[in-house]
C-alpha cells in the first residue's frame, strides 16, 4: 500500500479510530497494529508476509534462547549467529543472488572459464532490507545485553512490522521502538496535530518536489545521447533534490503517522544539504541506517579507537557495505566507495565533526560556511549521478557529456527545468529558515502564526499547492531497497 494512494487515505483514519476508540487496552492496540501492518504490507503481495513472519519469529525465539542460556556464552553466541545467518541469508537470496552469480561469472570469464549457473527470477520483497536490519538489531542488542528480551510475541511482531516505517524506514533499533510497544500509550492532541503537519510537509516534498523533479530527470536520462552538458548538470542537481525530497518525504510521513498512534520514531533527516563537509552530511542523511552500520559494523571493527590506517579501512568497509545495502549492482558499491574516498582526507586532517546547526542564532551563514555547503553539495551531487546511473557505461557517458564544452552553453534548457529548479530553491529557503526544527511546518512560537486562523490558512495553502502542482505520481525511490 502506498502512502500517496487513495487506499491509504481510507486505511489510516479507519485504523486510527479503531486504535483510540475501540481497542483501548495495550494488548488489543498492539494486535490492531500487527493486523493493520500485515494488511498494509500484504497489499502488494500476500506472499511477502511469509518472509517477514520468518524474520520476526526467528529473532523473537533467538532472544528467548539467549536469555535462557544466560551464563553460557558459547551457546548464546551460536544462537545469535544462527539468527544472523538465517536473516542475512534470506536477504542475500532475494536481493543479491543474481548479483553474486553474475559477478562470479564475470570473474571466471576473465580467466577464460564459463560459469553456467541458473539465474533466478525473484521478485524483490518491498522493504526487506529495512525490516531485516531492524530484526537483527534486536537479537544483537539482546546478545550484547543492551536490552532484555521480551516474551510478548504480539508486541514484538508489531515492533518489526509497524506499518508507518515498515517498507522504507526509519530503521528503528529495538532499544528505541520496542519499549514503546510494551507500555501504555495515551492520546496527546498536540502530538497528533504535529504528526498531521509533518505528514502534510512530507506529502508536499514527495508530490511536488520529488515527483516533479522525476519527470525532468527521467527525461534527461532517456535522451542522454542528445543532451547538453548544462542540461545534464541541472538534471543531476534535480535528482539530488528528487531523492532527498522523496526519501525524507517518506520519513516525514512515517514519523508523523506514528505520532498519531502515540509512538515516536527516530529522525531520519536533518537538512543534509546544509552540511559543511561530507562527515556532517552523513550525520544528517539517512541517519538511522548510518547509526545501524556505526553500532553493528564500525564500532565492532574498532571504529576510530585504533590507528589512522585502520580507521580508514573501517570507514571503507562501512561505506562499501552501505552501498551494497542500497542495491545489488556495482554502481551502488562504487557510490559507497566514492563517499569513503571523500571521508579519507577528513580523517587524515582530523577535520571537525560538526554537531551544531550551521549559522546557529544567525539569519545568514558566513562566506566560509556558504562555500563549505556549496562544495559539499557538489561533491554529494556528483555521487548521485553514479547512484542514479543504470550501469557504469551510462554513468561514463553522462559524465563525459557533462564535462564537455556544452556545459557552458544554454541550449537544451526548458521552462520545465526552470520552474522545477525554483521549487527546489524554495525548498532550500524554507528549510534554511526552519533548520533547527524537526520539520518546516513546526511553526509553534512564531508570532506570525499565533492565531489559529493563520495556521489553518497556511495548511490549506500547502494542501492547495499539493493538489494543484503535484507531478506525475511516482513510486517512492527507496522501495526498491
Query: Is 248 in contact with 273 (CB distance < 8 Å)?
Result: no
Sign of CA dihedral 416, 419, 425, 431: negative
Determine the Cα–Cα distance for residues 321 and 370; give it in Å rounded to an integer: 31
Determine the Cα–Cα distance for residues 208 and 473; give it in Å rounded to an integer: 9
Determine the Cα–Cα distance for residues 275 and 459; give it in Å rounded to an integer: 28
**Cβ neighbours for 436, distance < 8 A, ≥ 6 positions apart:** 357, 360
Query: Is 268 in contact with 255 (CB distance < 8 Å)?
Result: yes
Determine the Cα–Cα distance for residues 239 and 214; give it in Å rounded to an integer: 7
Catalytic residues: 326
Determine the Cα–Cα distance for residues 317 and 309; give it in Å rounded to an integer: 13
At residue 69, φ and ψ (nearest 5 deg) are: -95, 30
At residue 43, φ and ψ (nearest 5 deg) are: -60, -30
Angle of helix 211-222 relative to helix 229-259, nearest 10 degrees, comes to: 150
Determine the Cα–Cα distance for residues 339 and 320; give it in Å rounded to an integer: 9
Peptide bond into 170 cis (omega under 30): yes
| Structural Rg of the chain based on CA atoms | 23
Determine the Cα–Cα distance for residues 326 and 282; give it in Å rounded to an integer: 15
Residue 478 CA, chain-centre distance (Å), reads 7
Amino acid at each position: 500500500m502506498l502512502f500517496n494512494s487513495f487506499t491509504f487515505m481510507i486505511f489510516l483514519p479507519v485504523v486510527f479510530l479503531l486504535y483510540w476508540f475501540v481497542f483501548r487496552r495495550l494488548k488489543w492496540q498492539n494486535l490492531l497494529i500487527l493486523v493493520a501492518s500485515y494488511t498494509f504490507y500484504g497489499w502488494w503481495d500476500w506472499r511477502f508476509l511469509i518472509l517477514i513472519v520468518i524474520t520476526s519469529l526467528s529473532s523473537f525465539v533467538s532472544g528467548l534462547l539467549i536469555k535462557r542460556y544466560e551464563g553460557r556464552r558459547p551457546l548464546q553466541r551460536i544462537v545469535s549467529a544462527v539468527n544472523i545467518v538465517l536473516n542475512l541469508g534470506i536477504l542475500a537470496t532475494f536481493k543479491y543472488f543474481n548479483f553474486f552469480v553474475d559477478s562470479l561469472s564475470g570473474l571466471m570469464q576473465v580467466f577464460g572459464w564459463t560459469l553456467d549457473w541458473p539465474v533466478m527470477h525473484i521478485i524483490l520483497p518491498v522493504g526487506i532490507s529495512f525490516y531485516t536490519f531492524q530484526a537483527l538489531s534486536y537479537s544483537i542488542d539482546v546478545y550484547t545485553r543492551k536490552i532484555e528480551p521480551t516474551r510478548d510475541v504480539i508486541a514484538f511482531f508489531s515492533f518489526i512490522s509497524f506499518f508507518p516505517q515498515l517498507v522504507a524506514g526509519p530503521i528503528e533499533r529495538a532499544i528505541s521502538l520496542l519499549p514503546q510497544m510494551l507500555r501504555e500509550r495515551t492520546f496527546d492532541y498536540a502530538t497528533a496535530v504535529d504528526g498531521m503537519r509533518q505528514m502534510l510537509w512530507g506529502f508536499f516534498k514527495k508530490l511536488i518536489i520529488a515527483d516533479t523533479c522525476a519527470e525532468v530527470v527521467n527525461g534527461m536520462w532517456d535522451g542522454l545521447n542528445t543532451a547538453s552538458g548544462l542540461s545534464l548538470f541541472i538534471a543531476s542537481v534535480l535528482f539530488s533534490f528528487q531523492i532527498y525530497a522523496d526519501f525524507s518525504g517518506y520519513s516525514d510521513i512515517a514519523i508523523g503517522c506514528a505520532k498519531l498512534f502515540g509512538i515516536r520514531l527516530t529522525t531520519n533527516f536533518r537538512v543534509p544539504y546544509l552540511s559543511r563537509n561530507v562527515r556532517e552530511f552523513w550525520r544528517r542523511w539517512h541517519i538511522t541506517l548510518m547509526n545501524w552500520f556505526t553500532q553493528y559494523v564500525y564500532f565492532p571493527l574498532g571504529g576510530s579507537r585504533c590507528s589512522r590506517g585502520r580507521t580508514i579501512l573501517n570507514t571503507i568497509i562501512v561505506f562499501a557495505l552501505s552501498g551494497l545495502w542500497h542495491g545489488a549492482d556495482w554502481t551502488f558499491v562504487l557510490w559507497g566507495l566514492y563517499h569513503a574516498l571523500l571521508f579519507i582526507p577528513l580523517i587524515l586532517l582530523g577535520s571537525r565533526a560538526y554537531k551544531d546547526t550551521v549559522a546557529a542564532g544567525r539569519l545568514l551563514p558566513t562566506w566560509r560556511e556558504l562555500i563549505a555547503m556549496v562544495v559539499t553539495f557538489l561533491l554529494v551531487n556528483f555521487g548521485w549521478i553514479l547512484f542514479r546511473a543504470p550501469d557504469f557505461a551510462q554513468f561514463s557517458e553522462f559524465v563525459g557529456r557533462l564535462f564537455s564544452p556544452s556545459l557552458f552553453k544554454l541550449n537544451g534548457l526548458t521552462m520545465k527545468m526552470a520552474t522545477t529548479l525554483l521549487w527546489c530553491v524554495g525548498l532550500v529557503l524554507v528549510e534554511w529558515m526552519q533548520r533547527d526544527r524537526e520539520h518546516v511546518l513546526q511553526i509553534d512560537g512564531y508570532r506570525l502564526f499565533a492565531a489559529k486562523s493563520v495556521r489553518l490558512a497556511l495548511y490549506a495553502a500547502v494542501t492547495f499547492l499539493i493538489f494543484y502542482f503535484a507531478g506525475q505520481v511516482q513510486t517512492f525511490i527507496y522501495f526498491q531497497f
